[in-house]
Structure 1
């Protein structure tokens, strides 16, 4: 069964009004409605660049210990975190994944690898 929620770690972290840093979060896979609904939002209609703010606010299900998440929260992210989340969204929602065919220089075996961007943890088997 495919997981529909994936964890992420922001490179900088969101700083709340009390000065707490929130880096760990969860994003769910987007639905067609998630991508269509924001197009009706007046903020998106007047500024198409705002689409990403609304979209991320819809699909991020958890960010640190914040009780809730809304577009204002996304607006408060550092630029590096916004870019990271846009990339993460694209990678988890695209058909397939960003995988590369590589050849081992020692045994000449071929296999696929998926790059892990900075800020994400690698699991050790």
Structure 2
């Protein structure tokens, strides 16, 4: 018995597209230099998770960020880095003590992980019925 097509209402999860990879929320990284803790242990491998809207909004209420807008990066990274070596309680104080090279690396990783998503839609050719994905966000920078 064939099932009738089902429409998806707003707020309802959509069925996974065939062959579409699952949403990835954590990203492993290796710092170029590493975080040197007070005992002299070097921590280089870590995990960064996708940022939420809360992660980006809460630091704006932080007095350190209000006094110095550049501190936003430090607070934000302290929220989204879930592990750094053996450290699972990563916070702004640890991010403050990173080498500049590592801070720049993490800023770039954060941007790539959180800003470079895609807006794709599954479509079918009206003539032949061939199914394919279309990027709704338009062309990439530098492409026409």
TM over 0.5: yes
Equivalenced residue count is: 97
- Secondary structure in structure 1 of the residue aligned to 2:58: helix
**With structure 1 as the length reference, what TM-score do the two structures score?**
0.75
State the structure with bigger RCO (CA 8 A, min sep 6), 1 or 2.
1
- Check if 1:23 corresponds to 2:57: no
User: What value does the CA root-mean-square deviation take over the aligned residues?
Assistant: 1.1
Give 1:71's aligned residue: 92
Between structures 1 and 2, the one with greater helix share: 1
Q: Answer with 66-75 or 29-38: which moved more.
A: 66-75
- Which runs of 5 or more structure 2 residues have no equivalent in the other structure? 1-21, 119-144
Misfit runs of 4+, over 3 Å = none
1:1-125 to 2 correspondence within 5 Å?
A: 1-96=22-117
Question: Which has the larger Rg?
Answer: 2
- Which runs of 5 or more structure 1 residues have no equivalent in the other structure? 98-125
